[in-house]
Amino acid sequence: MPDFVYLSQNIGGAFDRLLCRTLEKRPHKLPEGRFVTLCFDDFPKSAVNVAAPMIEARDWRATWYVAGGYCGQTHPRMGAMFDRHDLERLARAGHDFGCHTFDHVDCRSHDPDAVADQCRRNLTFLNAAGIHDLASFAYPFGEVNLAAKTNPALSDYLRRGVKTGLNQGVADLALLKAVGLQANNGGIARALRSLRTLKNADGWLIIFTHDVREQPSPWGAAPSDYARLLQAVEESGADVVTMAEMAARLNVTAPSPAMAA
C-alpha cells in the first residue's frame, strides 16, 4: 500500500490512527481461553520495587518495555527510572522484556531506518545486561503510522499500542489493543470493566502502566489501586501470561538473527 504509506507519513495523527486500525494488519486468531498480560513501560524504579513483588507473590510475571536510554535517569514526572541492577533482578525472577526503542522515539516522526537503528541499539543494550530473547515491541507514546507498522525491523515482534480495548477473536498482532491505567483513562476503572467482560468471554487483556507509587504521575497507578487490580485479575480466573508466553501460544516467530546481532 505505498500510497497509503505516503499519506500516513504526511497527514496528521487522527488519519494515521484510522489507517493503522484498518490496514497492514497481522491478523491472527487468538487461542481459546481468557488471558491477561501485565506490562510496564519505560520503566520507573517504583514499578520494580512496588509492583513486581505484588505480581511475584501471586506467582505471575510481567513484561517490561525497556527504552535503554532511560537507564539510570530520573524522569521529571515518573521519578527514578530503572537501572541495570533492576534489569538483572527482574531477569533473575523470570520476567519478560520487550523493546521500546532506545531513546523512546515517536515512530511516526522517525523514518523506518531510524526506528530500526533504535531497536538494534536497544537490543545491544539489553544483550549487555544478559537479556537476549525479546518477543514484543511497544510503540513509544502509542504513536504509529503505516510506515512504522510495515517496518521490516519490527515485523517479527508482537506489537502493542495504547488503543484501549480487549483483544478478542482475530487480533492484529502488529497493533494489539491494551488498557492503560493512566489518569485520563479513569485509573484502574477501565481495566476492571474489561476484566468483568473477560469473566464471561474469551479474550486477551493487556494492561500497562508506568510508575506505581503514592501520588503517581498521570501515567501511573497508586499501590493500593494496583493491588485492587491484581485481586480483580485473580478473581477473573484468566491465565496471566507474559507477552513471550503469548507469542509461544500463538506460535509466532522470534525476532530474526539479524535483529539480534
* Residues binding Zn ion (CB under 5 A): 41-42, 140
CA-nearest of 173, 213, 136 to 31 is: 173
Which residues lie closer than 8 Å to 163 by C-beta, 6 or more apart?
A: 17, 21, 142, 175, 177, 178
Q: How far is the CB of 254 from Zn ion (least distance, A)?
A: 23
Cβ closest to Zn ion, residue 41 vs residue 156: 41
Which of 165, 155, 135, 141 is closest to 16 using CA atoms? 141
C-beta of 236: minimal distance to Zn ion in Å? 26
Nearer to Zn ion, 34 or 104 (CB): 104
| CA 65, chain centre distance (Å) | 6
Q: How far is the CB of 154 from Zn ion (least distance, A)?
A: 15
* Burial class for 228, CB neighbours closer than 10 Å (0-12, 13-18, 19+): middle
Per-position b or e across 147-171, b if 16+ CB within 10 A of its CB: bbbbbebbbbbbbbbbbeebbeeeb
Residue nearest to Zn ion (CB): 41
Report yes or no: 152 and 137 within 8 Å, Cβ to Cβ: no
Report the run of H or E that residue 17 belongs to, with start and end: helix 13-22
User: What are the distances in angstroms from CA 122 to CA 48, 135, 193?
Assistant: 20, 14, 35
Nearer to Zn ion (CB atom), residue 24 or residue 41? 41
- Contact between 143 and 100 under an 8 Å Cβ cutoff? The reply is no
Give the cell for residue 166. Answer: 480487549
Q: How far is the CB of 47 from Zn ion (least distance, A)?
A: 12
By beta-carbon proximity to Zn ion, the closer residue of 30 and 78 is 78
Min dist. Cβ of residue 90 to Zn ion (A): 17
Which residue number, 41 or 86, has a Cβ lying nearer to Zn ion? 41
Of the pair 161, 255, the CB lying nearest Zn ion is at: 161
Q: How far is the CB of 140 from Zn ion (least distance, A)?
A: 5
